[in-house]
A and B are shown apart, each in its own frame.
Chain A
Amino acid sequence: MLLHLLVLAPFAVALLMVATSGFDSKSTSRIAILFGAIFTALSIRLITVGYAATSPIEWFTLPGTSTTLYYSLISQGINVWMVFLSTTVSLIALIAARESFGNNYKNFAIGIFALLGAMNGTFLASDAVLFFFFFEAMVVPAAILIAAYGGKDRKAAAMNFAIYTLAGSAPMAIALWYLLSVGTGSSAGHLFMAYQGVSAPIQTLLFVSFALAFLVKTPLFPFHGWQAQAYAEAPAPLSAVLAGAMSKAGVYGFFFWVLPIFGSDSSMMNLMMWIGLFTAVYGALMALRATDAKKLLAFSSMGHLGLAIAAIFSLSPTMIPAVLVLLVAHGLSSSSQFILTGVAERFAESRELKKMGGLAARNPVFGFLFGFACIAALAVPGTAGFIGEFLILLSLWQVGPVPAILAGLCLILSAVYMLRFIQAVIFGKADKVETRPCHKISPFDAAAVGVLLLLLVVFGVRPALIMDSLNGATQDEVVADMEDSEDVF
């Protein structure tokens, strides 16, 4: 029931929001935030439940195959936290959006709830076609929201984003269809068996088709062309959702689908690790040169997720908790950074780093939160980011010194660009924004971001809160579990 609620109810709420008033954005926002909070509460409940699966409901039989597809959801150690991220970050976005959109709030909320349902579906689906359905469905509300609420290049950004990601996952659709036609079922385990049965060149082709979808979505070098623009043009609350939650879909896809199906192809796994590492260094160096605050965050996000991908494909025993903690930490810190950058953008009326500055003196509460968020993002021990990055370093070290050294380089570079970012936004003379009326960050926004930042510290001191969800379960057991549950029904 919980799983169904988390996936389907957001769509229902989105429909409900259509009925709310478009002119009284205050009451609309109250309803939206209330529902957002309920979903967050449900996701926390899901974390405490841990393993759960719905009884599969027959969906349809794919033409050209003998495979019956099911609407079936499953929760395990990793995806409960992804759902937690998507609900929490959506809630924060709904809170922060009150300041920005006025009477347009209603439509923004509709989009966010639709996106939330699609994200939860992506994370919870145990059927490959269902997963793919939700994976594609995410693009629509996200692209519409960018096109409707973004900055001055919003149309181009939305177009780029939509075409890029849809084109990226088109080969996967065909590859998935192919695998279903040779196989007997649509879980990761079945697909793995189907994959085992085909010839080597086809195997590679299938891998490339699957990987491409996630390479684009995460994104990894060289398929990141859409990202910086989309994150920068999207309104800050949406950027927070894109970076904090939706970007995890790509990583999750690698982890939950690519790894179980194609994990035996060690040369491809190795290649993916190097792509991840290169992306990490690339993202960090690009962030170093960024002149646009949100593009800097976009590249920073890309760098961190590159590290996560590298860790996944290191296939080290410590990799699963490492990636899980890093993703949670990154989700919390990048979304709070985007929200705060949105506030700074409102203060300075520009995204250009050159035009910002002096906000710590003008608005100390904002300065505190912003500084805190950035410090947490550069993985200082005591925050969750450190646990994630240290375990990733450990995972890569088990592969060899060079991957670990590259990851260590990223640790240094992230300090360089984050400190530069702090300096550009909150330090320096306040005169750049002096002429404008003094804005304050609203207490509600501050409290919402404050909770995220507090969570980063709590998880940094007691990472067991996250890692206990794994409870010793390995990827194999998850897959085996899924097969069992399907055999029963």
Chain B
Amino acid sequence: MIPLWLIPLFPIIGTIALTTIALSSSGSKQGPAEGVTGAVAVFFPLLSFVSVLVLSLGMPLEGIRQTLGTWISLPAFQVDIGFLFDGLSRIMLLFVTGITTLIAFYSIGYMRGDKSFARYFAYINLFLFSMIILVLSDSLPLTFLGWEGVGLCSYLLIGFWHADAKNSKAGNKAFIVNRVGDVGFLFGMLCLISIGGSALLSYDYLNAWLLNPVSAEMIGTAMPLLSLAGILFFFGCTGKSAQIPLLTWLPDAMAGPTPVSALIHAATMVTSGVYLLARLSNLLVLIPIVLNVILFVGLLTAFWAAIAGLFQNDIKKVLAYSTISQLGFMFMAAGVAAFDVSIFHVFTHSFFKAALFLGAGAVIHSLTGEQDMRRMGGLIKKMPWTSLVMIFGFLAIIGFPGFAGFWSKDLILEKLYVSGPMGPFLYGGALLTAVITAVYMGRLIIMTFFGKYRGSAEKEAHIHEAPATMLIPMLVLSIGSAFAGFLWAGLIPGAEIFREMLAPVVGAAQAHASSAHAAVHLSPWVFAALGTLAALLGMFIAWKLFMRPMPEAKGDGEPEGFRASWTFAFDTLHKWIAVIPTKAMAWFLDVVINNIILAAQWLTMGIIEILGDGVRSLQVRKVGLQMALSLFGMTLVIALVVIYGGLL
């Protein structure tokens, strides 16, 4: 069996190689040779994918563990650098490395001619490295390394075209909002350390401790701190996975190159929150109150973002809000302790959302940078393959029967009804959100591919089908969008390989959680039928509302009026509770306090100067007096020390 560290090793070699290429070619006008650079950029993620594949095939049921060495070693705090390859990290790694390889390949076409070609791929490889560490780590601190690492890469790639201040501001926002969540993660770790020392930070040890009947009493007494830890970890997840309240950065993150939006801000990084919840499943099922928080936050986020998705004209913004909404669905699943289902939706979503984003990227590329859907339309004739990919992704995301999203979303809805508190209510909310999903996605497809072309004539002349390097990854992903769901097709008996693969990791937690609920028995066909109806209804509404001639586009496409208030509700909230108080505080310290200190300083210095002047004038005229004065001072000090000191 090959060692686990090969998986992260390849992308870090790729990062170093590409950074070297980027820096050494920075002096030349043309930049590096794109052929070689592109080959390096795809080769190392591919090697990583192959190693994951090899390891996956030979993995024993309980997983593979490897410790490379100690990271931090103190008497009171001990963390190892160790890897854990089990059912959960296997699935995550397979699609993370696979999709990164595909998107790196796609990027060769997309980024052609960019001056910073090599730098782009250096970041992509660094991202893959961080993401692998996040998923493969066997302890929370090492996961945190990946956690902040992916955030850093996200920052670097959002602000990739840094000549435009708007892009680097979007990058800053992403990093800072994520940092807020990350501090939650750190404090979650601190809570666990307070409960049982740093050993609890290791997943294996944590699970063993939680499942051991002997520790039940200790868990009981530590319950408040344990719940706090759960909430704090979840807070960290809301940052990375763009949930209420830390979701504002993701729509802005669309400033980055589109393949980045597909890879980081749709398929992989933003799902790491869902991954962490699944990793901590044994902890979370013990604290139902936290699960309920996760559930309601997920529902609210999914609904809010779906509505916001309706209001956007920018094709990438629609997809961004749709990602937030879908992540909300995953959190809902985690909130009813259906962790395997949430990971299944992560899996299917990564295919169809990546396909949608790459399709959108092909459209934007072909329209030389146009992102406003009001200036698109009728593209199906000129870009048939891209439209096909997008339509596959569309059918998957709305849950059209047979497509990937149908199976995973259907399972989420079913679990909500069966095991959630107030099941029918949650089910209704989620189903309504599913209808809205079909409406805004239908709007996107109709505005982009159907009707008449509404953009400028010069851009129309340029419209072309995507080149093969871009089309091949898109087609692979669209095949995934169509068929990935059959790994766990609830309606087909026996088709649940996915669930079985995750069972060793999350099975115990889910068994614990489901024993708390009275089982509700309803035929899965009922849920499937209702889910299908929701998709069809949404499509019908979209067709009725948007399949008509559009008014001419005015303005920059940003939402206005009540649409803006809805879309930017959380930005406004952040502004009032975080940004303005911080600025006010900084102003107060800088303008008031600092000036008081400076004034005191000038005053003291002034007095010293005046005294000094006086002494100096003394010095010039009466040397004797000056001498006497300083002698007197010295004697005074000595006398004081002698009188109050040891010699008395």
State the A residues within 8 Å of B (CB).
63-66, 160, 163-164, 167, 174, 177-178, 181-183, 194, 202, 222, 224-225, 282, 285-286, 288-289, 317-318, 321, 358, 360-361, 364-365, 368, 375, 380-382, 386-387, 390-391, 393-394, 397, 404-405, 408, 411-413, 415-416, 419-420, 422-423, 426-430, 461-464, 467, 472
Assess whether B183 is in contact with A412, with CB atoms less than 8 Å apart.
yes
Contact partners of A386 in chain B: CB under 8 A:
145, 148
Interchain Cβ contacts under 8 Å between A and B, 16 examples: A63-B638, A66-B647, A181-B641, A181-B642, A285-B590, A318-B74, A368-B23, A380-B152, A393-B190, A394-B190, A412-B176, A415-B175, A416-B172, A423-B162, A423-B169, A462-B71
Assess whether B582 is in contact with A285, with CB atoms less than 8 Å apart.
yes
> Interface digits, B43-84 against A, CB 8 Å rule (1 contact, 0 not)?
000000000000000000000000000111111110000000
User: Which residue of chain B lies nearest to A228 when distances are taken between CB atoms in the complex?
Assistant: B594
Assess whether B165 is in contact with A222, with CB atoms less than 8 Å apart.
no
Q: When chains A and B are docked, how far (Å) is the Cα of A163 from the Cα of B604?
A: 10
A394-B598 in contact given A181-B642, A415-B175 (Cβ < 8 Å): no
Closest chain A CB from B513 CB (angstroms): 30
Contact partners of A285 in chain B: CB under 8 A:
582, 585-586, 589-590
Assess whether A375 is in contact with B152, with CB atoms less than 8 Å apart.
yes
A463-B72 in contact given A64-B645, A285-B582, A286-B586 (Cβ < 8 Å): yes
* Chain A CB within 8 A of B193 CB: yes
State the B residues within 8 Å of A (CB).
19, 22-23, 26, 70-77, 119, 141, 144-145, 147-149, 152, 155, 159, 162-163, 165, 168-169, 171-172, 175-176, 179-180, 182-183, 186-187, 190, 193-194, 582-583, 585-587, 589-590, 593-594, 597-598, 601, 605, 608, 637-638, 641-642, 644-647
User: Which residue of chain A lies nearest to B130 when distances are taken between CB atoms in the complex?
Assistant: A382
Assess whether B645 is in contact with A416, with CB atoms less than 8 Å apart.
no
A428-B74 in contact given A360-B162, A415-B175 (Cβ < 8 Å): no
Q: When chains A and B are docked, how far (Å) is the Cα of A456 from the Cα of B162?
A: 26
Contact partners of A397 in chain B: CB under 8 A:
187, 190, 193-194
Contact partners of B187 in chain A: CB under 8 A:
397, 404-405, 408
Q: When chains A and B are docked, how far (Å) is the Cα of A404 from the Cα of B593?
A: 24
Assess whether A411 is in contact with B165, with CB atoms less than 8 Å apart.
no
Q: When chains A and B are docked, how far (Å) is the Cα of A443 from the Cα of B163?
A: 25
Most chain A Cβ neighbours within 10 Å, of B587, B601, B642: B601
Closest 9 pairs between A and B when the two form their complex, measured CB to CB: A181-B645, A364-B26, A381-B145, A427-B162, A182-B646, A285-B586, A225-B601, A419-B172, A181-B646
Contact partners of A225 in chain B: CB under 8 A:
597-598, 601
Contact partners of A393 in chain B: CB under 8 A:
186, 190
Q: When chains A and B are docked, how far (Å) is the Cα of A225 from the Cα of B602?
A: 10
Assess whether A286 is in contact with B594, with CB atoms less than 8 Å apart.
yes
A404-B190 in contact given A428-B165, A467-B74 (Cβ < 8 Å): yes
Contact partners of A286 in chain B: CB under 8 A:
586, 589-590, 594
Assess whether A318 is in contact with B149, with CB atoms less than 8 Å apart.
no
Assess whether B183 is in contact with A428, with CB atoms less than 8 Å apart.
no
A163-B605 in contact given A390-B186, A394-B77, A419-B172 (Cβ < 8 Å): yes
Contact partner, B183, options A163, A411, A462, Cβ 8 Å: A411
Contact partners of A415 in chain B: CB under 8 A:
175-176, 179
Contact partner, B645, options A65, A167, A364, Cβ 8 Å: A65
Contact partners of A426 in chain B: CB under 8 A:
162
Q: When chains A and B are docked, how far (Å) is the Cα of A415 from the Cα of B180?
A: 10
User: Which residue of chain A lies nearest to B591 when distances are taken between CB atoms in the complex?
Assistant: A289
Contact partners of A430 in chain B: CB under 8 A:
163
Contact partners of A416 in chain B: CB under 8 A:
172, 176, 582
Contact partners of A358 in chain B: CB under 8 A:
163
Q: When chains A and B are docked, how far (Å) is the Cα of A366 from the Cα of B646?
A: 60
Contact partner, A163, options B172, B608, B637, Cβ 8 Å: B608
Q: When chains A and B are docked, how far (Å) is the Cα of A358 from the Cα of B182?
A: 30
Q: When chains A and B are docked, how far (Å) is the Cα of A428 from the Cα of B585?
A: 28
Most chain B Cβ neighbours within 10 Å, of A182, A317, A364: A364
User: Which residue of chain A lies nearest to B598 when distances are taken between CB atoms in the complex?
Assistant: A225
Assess whether B647 is in contact with A64, with CB atoms less than 8 Å apart.
yes
Assess whether B145 is in contact with A178, with CB atoms less than 8 Å apart.
no
Contact partners of B155 in chain A: CB under 8 A:
419
Contact partners of A391 in chain B: CB under 8 A:
72, 74, 77
User: Which residue of chain A lies nearest to B81 when distances are taken between CB atoms in the complex?
Assistant: A461
Most chain A Cβ neighbours within 10 Å, of B22, B165, B586, B644: B586
Q: When chains A and B are docked, how far (Å) is the Cα of A404 from the Cα of B232?
A: 14
User: Which residue of chain A lies nearest to B144 when distances are taken between CB atoms in the complex?
Assistant: A381
Closest chain B CB from A182 CB (angstroms): 4
Q: When chains A and B are docked, how far (Å) is the Cα of A398 from the Cα of B15?
A: 39
A427-B594 in contact given A181-B642, A318-B74 (Cβ < 8 Å): no
Contact partners of B159 in chain A: CB under 8 A:
423, 427
The A interface is mostly helix, strand or loop, or mixed, namely helix
Contact partners of B19 in chain A: CB under 8 A:
368
Assess whether A361 is in contact with B163, with CB atoms less than 8 Å apart.
yes
Contact partner, A177, options B168, B593, B641, Cβ 8 Å: B641
Most chain A Cβ neighbours within 10 Å, of B23, B183, B587: B183
Q: When chains A and B are docked, how far (Å) is the Cα of A183 from the Cα of B647?
A: 10
Q: When chains A and B are docked, how far (Å) is the Cα of A372 from the Cα of B144?
A: 19
Most chain A Cβ neighbours within 10 Å, of B26, B155, B641: B641
Assess whether B168 is in contact with A423, with CB atoms less than 8 Å apart.
yes
Q: When chains A and B are docked, how far (Å) is the Cα of A472 from the Cα of B73?
A: 11
Assess whether B641 is in contact with A174, with CB atoms less than 8 Å apart.
yes
User: Which residue of chain A lies nearest to B180 when distances are taken between CB atoms in the complex?
Assistant: A412
Contact partners of B22 in chain A: CB under 8 A:
364
Assess whether B172 is in contact with A178, with CB atoms less than 8 Å apart.
no
Assess whether B179 is in contact with A412, with CB atoms less than 8 Å apart.
yes
A394-B589 in contact given A368-B23, A380-B152, A420-B172 (Cβ < 8 Å): no
Q: When chains A and B are docked, how far (Å) is the Cα of A225 from the Cα of B155?
A: 35
Q: When chains A and B are docked, how far (Å) is the Cα of A426 from the Cα of B638?
A: 57
Contact partner, A408, options B23, B172, B183, Cβ 8 Å: B183
Assess whether A289 is in contact with B590, with CB atoms less than 8 Å apart.
yes
Assess whether A365 is in contact with B26, with CB atoms less than 8 Å apart.
yes
Q: When chains A and B are docked, how far (Å) is the Cα of A358 from the Cα of B75?
A: 47
Contact partners of B169 in chain A: CB under 8 A:
423
Closest chain B CB from A16 CB (angstroms): 36
Assess whether B645 is in contact with A408, with CB atoms less than 8 Å apart.
no
Contact partners of A461 in chain B: CB under 8 A:
71
User: Which residue of chain A lies nearest to B194 when distances are taken between CB atoms in the complex?
Assistant: A397
Closest chain A CB from B292 CB (angstroms): 24
Contact partners of A387 in chain B: CB under 8 A:
72
Contact partners of A368 in chain B: CB under 8 A:
19, 23
Closest chain A CB from B24 CB (angstroms): 9
Contact partner, A282, options B582, B589, B638, Cβ 8 Å: B589
Q: When chains A and B are docked, how far (Å) is the Cα of A177 from the Cα of B646?
A: 10
A381-B163 in contact given A174-B637, A286-B589, A364-B26 (Cβ < 8 Å): no
Assess whether A394 is in contact with B597, with CB atoms less than 8 Å apart.
no
User: Which residue of chain A lies nearest to B183 when distances are taken between CB atoms in the complex?
Assistant: A408
Contact partner, A66, options B149, B194, B646, Cβ 8 Å: B646
Contact partners of A390 in chain B: CB under 8 A:
141, 186
Assess whether A289 is in contact with B642, with CB atoms less than 8 Å apart.
no
Contact partners of B190 in chain A: CB under 8 A:
393-394, 397, 404
Assess whether B642 is in contact with A423, with CB atoms less than 8 Å apart.
no
Contact partners of B646 in chain A: CB under 8 A:
65-66, 181-183, 194
Assess whether A423 is in contact with B74, with CB atoms less than 8 Å apart.
no
Closest chain B CB from A296 CB (angstroms): 12
Contact partner, B168, options A181, A381, A428, Cβ 8 Å: A428
Assess whether A381 is in contact with B582, with CB atoms less than 8 Å apart.
no
Q: When chains A and B are docked, how far (Å) is the Cα of A70 from the Cα of B23?
A: 54
Q: When chains A and B are docked, how far (Å) is the Cα of A174 from the Cα of B598?
A: 27
Assess whether A382 is in contact with B149, with CB atoms less than 8 Å apart.
yes
A364-B23 in contact given A285-B586, A387-B72 (Cβ < 8 Å): yes
Contact partners of A222 in chain B: CB under 8 A:
597
Q: When chains A and B are docked, how far (Å) is the Cα of A467 from the Cα of B601?
A: 40
Q: When chains A and B are docked, how far (Å) is the Cα of A406 from the Cα of B583?
A: 17
Most chain B Cβ neighbours within 10 Å, of A286, A380, A411, A461: A380
